[in-house]
Structure 1
């Protein structure tokens, strides 16, 4: 998300401008037309921001990794891959130009798409990056309390219900319209925080706000699931599998890197192990 992408805890809007990239929307692992064609859409969780190496011909601002879950899945299953995931993307970037040289993601969908994977929503209204940042700023007031919940209340959840959820439905319907015969899989966001406790200062969230942000993520994933069901897509729920692999888990166990001390991925984003786990979950859903 930029929560990613769930949204990225990176401020993508403040990223420096870069020279225009040639408007190639694909990064294919193979051109064998007899293989099933996988198209990957989405944000920085889908792109695997910070996981090296990047796809050689991809737009630099997208931070698209050659080890994201779509590349891992395509290599394992022998799919032909078109990957247009891009850090900072929200649902508006499905139909609009995101950066110079980064066409609307829906442009990648053609009649020969067999499988479409989608991971999007955390960046809408700058939701999750704002929540993480503001809750971190407020944590110093009362580390054992819930200063963010006390200050923001239902504000973030209301944004999901009233703005993000309708946008997700529209975006997924547009995907369905462009690829009516494809198997569409909507991937939920893996847990960023544990159920309780937290791990300040690696994740600078007050103890009482850990459950507050978990609830926000749960509401976002529920909106994704509803939109998937309403558009005939499958929802790949990463919540059960990712329990215990959040940003507070030990190195080697965590799938999400913390805000402070991240290694191998962008802060508050899936690392290579997290991307492998997502690939495994999508593969299982396709069986």
Structure 2
């Protein structure tokens, strides 16, 4: 076989090999994709839940007796639901009645400060706190009225607002602007210090009281005592607040939500506000409510009267709603950062994106062009030799 023909055949045999090398990007390593990354631990990322009764699921069934039985924590609270849904390794130290001080340093009911549950391996933290610092919940329970127009049982005043707002000074708003704000700042700084690797989600309070748009024309009042109480027993699931106090306490919740949002932003955390989305499901709602109403429990002869556990706290539907909102935020916070596309490189200085796919394609064309050129030269020489 003439040398020229052998040379041509060798060149042509190289074509698929060269094309394969260029197409695979040999000598041009690409970023690893998510498929090559390490798997998550079997028990999931470490998740610590902090907070008060709204985080603890106070009043719900299935008590956990953690961190101590007096905390009233439930296995149906939103942290447990979130952990179960996302496969997280949960440590839930939320406790009914907790304040920001109980996160930082106070031993509530003998339990360790909640921040002691945090550590360098904590990956996500949720916290619902601040309502007890403001005195909102204890105040609301003292605003129970005898009738739609009052008076309030605890004070005999026509409304709670008349006692809480004097000379134009709102005592609850002042508490939020002062004590609550400073407490949140301290608690959030402690969380950031104790869990430096964690994504922190602050979960706001759902609506206890409706806004004007979700307040019925006839008002929200549902009594907790009635003329037939002695014979028929106490009513259940009441909402015994005057129209004045419903409007006032709804505004206080707005103020607290704003304070929580501001403190969360200042700390660099993520805020989940649940207030607006639950206005239609407040304690005022007679159906579809996310909030337990007020039921009084009386001893024989009515010598002792107390509130049933869970009054003005999320019911099971409310806990599920909080879990859905919080779970979405937690999932987003834990989502891995997207890897760069394996077929593209950063945009050039002129704004033109340099795509490696086009580079590879161009390389293949060049290789084939060279092969064709060499083959053509070989054929030309072979013809010349015959002459």
Q: TM-score, normalised by structure 2?
A: 0.61
User: Pick from 122, 140, 148: which aligns with 2:150?
Assistant: 140
The verdict on how the C-alpha distance between 1:188 and 1:57 changes in structure 2, with shifts beyond 3 A counting, is: closer
SS of the aligned residue for 2:96 comes to: coil
Alignment of 1:33-182 (within 5 A): 35-55=44-64, 58-94=67-103, 95-100=105-110, 102-124=111-133, 127-136=135-144, 140-141=150-151, 147-153=159-165, 154-182=170-198
Instruction: Count how many residue pairs are aligned between Structure 1 and Structure 2.
Output: 252
Rg: which structure is higher? 2
Q: Is the 8 A contact 1:247 1:258 kept in 2?
A: yes
The verdict on how the C-alpha distance between 1:140 and 1:194 changes in structure 2, with shifts beyond 3 A counting, is: same
- The runs of at least 4 aligned residues of structure 1 exceeding 4 Å deviation read 261-265
Q: Is the 8 A contact 2:46 2:88 kept in 1?
A: yes
Q: Which has more helix, going by share of residues?
A: 2
Distance 1:130 1:46 in 2: 17
Identify the range of structure 1 (33-42 vs 180-189) with the bigger mean alpha-carbon deviation: 33-42
SS of the aligned residue for 1:255 comes to: coil
Distance 1:57 1:104 in 2: 13
Q: Is the 8 A contact 2:55 2:128 kept in 1?
A: yes
Q: Is the 8 A contact 2:206 2:275 kept in 1?
A: yes
Distance 1:186 1:204 in 2: 30
Distance 1:205 1:250 in 2: 14
1:245 aligns to what?
Answer: 281
1:200 aligns to what?
Answer: 222
Is 1:223 the counterpart of 2:259 in the alignment?
yes
2:327 aligns to what?
Answer: 283
Q: Is the 8 A contact 1:48 1:265 kept in 2?
A: no
Of structures 1 and 2, the one scoring higher in RCO (CA 8 A, sep 6+) is 1
User: What CA deviation, in whole Å up to 9, does each residue of 1:180-207 have, x standing for no partner?
Assistant: 2211000000000112332332122111
Q: Is the 8 A contact 2:66 2:73 kept in 1?
A: no
Deviation at 1:164, TM superposition (A): 0.9
Deviation at 1:72, TM superposition (A): 0.3
Q: Unpaired runs of 5+ in structure 2?
A: 1-40, 224-237, 298-306, 333-387
Deviation at 1:256, TM superposition (A): 0.7
Deviation at 1:222, TM superposition (A): 1.1
The verdict on how the C-alpha distance between 1:285 and 1:140 changes in structure 2, with shifts beyond 3 A counting, is: same
Deviation at 1:136, TM superposition (A): 2.0
Is 1:212 the counterpart of 2:223 in the alignment?
no
Alpha-carbon RMSD: 2.4
User: Pick from 290, 300, 304: which aligns with 1:255?
Assistant: 290
Q: Is the 8 A contact 1:41 1:116 kept in 2?
A: yes
Distance 1:219 1:57 in 2: 31
1:235 aligns to what?
Answer: 271
Distance 2:296 2:286 in 1: 12
Deviation at 1:133, TM superposition (A): 3.0
Q: Unpaired runs of 5+ in structure 1?
A: 1-31
